[in-house]
Chains A and B, each alone.
Chain A
Amino acid sequence: MIDLLDLPALRMAWLNLRRNTLRTGLATLGIVIGVVAIAAIGITGTALQYGATQELGGLSNTVTVFPGEENADNVITDAQVDSIERVATGAVVAPQRSDTMEVASRSERRQVTVEAVSRPAALYDAAEGTIPSPMRSGVLLNADLADELGVELGQTVSVGGRSYRIIAILDEPGGFGQGVSVVIPLDDIDQNGYDQVTVVAEDGDAAQRLAEEIPAEVNQREEVVDTFTPADIQESVSGFFATLNAALLGVGSISLVVAGVSILNVMLMSVIERQAEIGVFRAVGIRRREVMRMVVAEATLLGVVGGIIGVVLSVLIGYAVNSLLNGQPMLVFQPRNLEFLALGFGFAVLASTLSGVYPAWKASTANPVEVLRG
């Protein structure tokens, strides 16, 4: 063990730490707790944020345009859809109508909200079958509703008295306000204008931009349309988690500072106990700065050992948390988490090293004369 650590200061530090294993263990425990407080909390925050983002994920690039407060007819007209298309160049613009209708199979019937869309492929994913674009016939059913009605892909259901063949079962996790049960071709709900228009943009940023540009273009004098984008929610969710994480990291940092103070205390005690020995070191020609190096190395070693244990524990905790929350344990190794681990470890080593400085200075001023008297 001694030959492994060839540097004299480190070697002495290692031996000194092994002298009182209980005390060393407790001081290390403080550091471990501090590192876990920083790293595991950071990783858990990332996991929660990842989970929340996944919930919103498929929708975060969409903008929903709906009739505004000053829209007398409470519909969006073809002209307005044209305006939207002008603004949203490159994006898919899908006007929608919706109505409450009865959906029935041979054995069951349900009153549900039915969506009528010309290009549902841009909005929804199919679990079974394929969604044609544009869709001119047939019906798309949510998997839950298909279950309740006891129907399968290719069978027939009646929607509002008309009979449709099921051409796809939808794979919709059902996020914010987007729970969809039944989708039929746009023209099958017969009304003037549209209830809402969904614009699918390239990404969340584009969606947020369109959410502002569309009303600016369409609303000339009165607020005839309004917009909503989950990208806004996602941004505030991200902001919320950033704040939460910062606060928790602050708490974690405090616990590391506390651990640092306990190391200061432990080192000070141990240095005072070893005053005679250090005095002899000084007498036989070990310089002040060499004594300091030994003691600082001891404190740093505490930080490194505690840091390593803390990092390992944090990875295990992160593994468990990610597997519980997201079902993807390996997410613990994403770059952001590695940053948290590095931050925890770095702070642990820094805090312990700094805590060693004063005891080291104290030790280096030990007066050899006092020892010779004993």
Chain B
Amino acid sequence: MTDRPHDAAEAEDGATASPERAAGHVAELDGVTREYRSGGETIAALADVNFAVDPGEMVAVIGPSGSGKSTLLNVLGLLDVPTAGTVRLDGDDVTDYDDEARTMARRRTIGFVFQSFHLVPMLTAVENVLVPTMFVDGDQRPRARDLLERVGLGDRLDHRPDQLSGGQRQRVAIARALVNEPRLLLADEPTGNLDRDTGRNILDEFERISAEEEVGVVAVTHDELVTEFTDRTVELIDGVIQ
């Protein structure tokens, strides 16, 4: 995981080296570099990163601010495109997908949980959970209710975000991330805005989901607590996996 090929040829080599493993990964970064230009200077937020998540696996990505954690999550979540390297989702090479294809891949395969929840204020809990399915045919309400019941909000279905506590909001966000039955759940500081006990509950939830639903979970965090719950912890410093 930490061996770093130095150019594209080697990255390709790395990909072909383990085809049987690649097929099993939910998501895989292969020699991914992401550079930003800032004031005539090129900064590598990710440098030649190899990373993979398996179904049912829960991985914590830790590292100081500016180490490239968020960029890693964005690239995994098809929100950002690498400068070099290959991104695979469920074995498909999605590196060169256009915006439309990436959006549809997110809709199908990925769930997001954000640090500040990002619920829609005028929608009820159920409606917030339904947001990703808004333009998808078929009534997903029963599934949304079911998900909220499973995260312990069966009695808060029609509450709006301002009527819920921080922990409850994050549970709604988790239910929203799961409504499209994703294979990959990406969490950005999921406990960042929660107190310790609530954070623990949320992480229990992630653990349960990852085990029961065979979902690969990647949580980017500063929080040492998170690493207690994950199967594996990856440390990122200056865009390089340690």
Contact = CB atoms under 8 A, between A and B. Distances in A.
Contacts of B110: 285
Nearest to A282: B103
B100 A368 contact: no
A368 B79 contact: yes
Contact of B103 (A9, A18, A19, A285): A285
9 contacts: A2-B127, A19-B122, A280-B131, A283-B112, A287-B103, A287-B135, A371-B118, A372-B73, A372-B112
Interface string A268-298: 0000000011001111111110100000000
Given A8-B135, A285-B180, A288-B99, A372 B120 contact: no
Given A19-B122, A371-B118, A284 B74 contact: no
Contact of A372 (B74, B104, B176): B74
A286 B134 contact: yes
Ranked 4 nearest A-B pairs via Cβ = A285-B107, A284-B132, A8-B134, A280-B118
Interface in A237-280: 276-277, 280
A372 B79 contact: yes
Contacts of B177: 284
Contacts of B114: 280, 371-372
Contacts of B77: 283, 372
A285 B131 CA distance: 9
A176 to B, nearest CB: 64
B123 interface: yes
Interface of B: 70, 73-74, 77, 79-80, 99-100, 103-104, 106-108, 110-112, 114-116, 118, 120-123, 127, 131-132, 134-135, 176-177, 180, 188
A286 B118 CA distance: 15
A102 B166 CA distance: 102
Interface in A11-36: 12, 15-16, 18-19
Given A12-B134, A372-B73, A284 B122 contact: no
B74 A288 contact: no
Nearest to B118: A280
Nearest to B74: A369
A161 interface: no
A15 B160 CA distance: 13
A221 interface: no
Contacts of B180: 284-285
Contacts of A2: 127
Given A280-B114, A369-B74, 20 more contacts: A8-B135, A12-B134, A277-B120, A281-B131, A283-B79, A284-B107, A284-B112, A285-B103, A285-B104, A285-B106, A285-B107, A285-B108, A285-B180, A286-B131, A287-B104, A288-B99, A290-B135, A368-B79, A372-B77, A372-B114
Nearest to B105: A285
A15 B134 contact: no
A39 B122 CA distance: 36
Interface in A155-191: none
Contact of B80 (A276, A277, A369): A369
Contact of B122 (A18, A290, A371): A18
A368 B103 CA distance: 11
A106 interface: no
Given A282-B103, A287-B103, A373 B131 contact: no
Q: Which of A19, A276, A280, A374 has the most CB of B within 10 A?
A: A280
B106 A283 contact: yes
Contacts of A288: 99-100, 103
A211 to B, nearest CB: 68
A206 to B, nearest CB: 64
Nearest to B123: A15
Given A12-B134, A15-B122, A290-B135, A373 B70 contact: yes
Q: Which of A12, A281, A286 has the most CB of B within 10 A?
A: A286
Q: Which of A9, A16, A286, A372 has the most CB of B within 10 A?
A: A372
A283 B180 CA distance: 13
A124 B49 CA distance: 102
A353 B157 CA distance: 35
Contacts of B127: 2
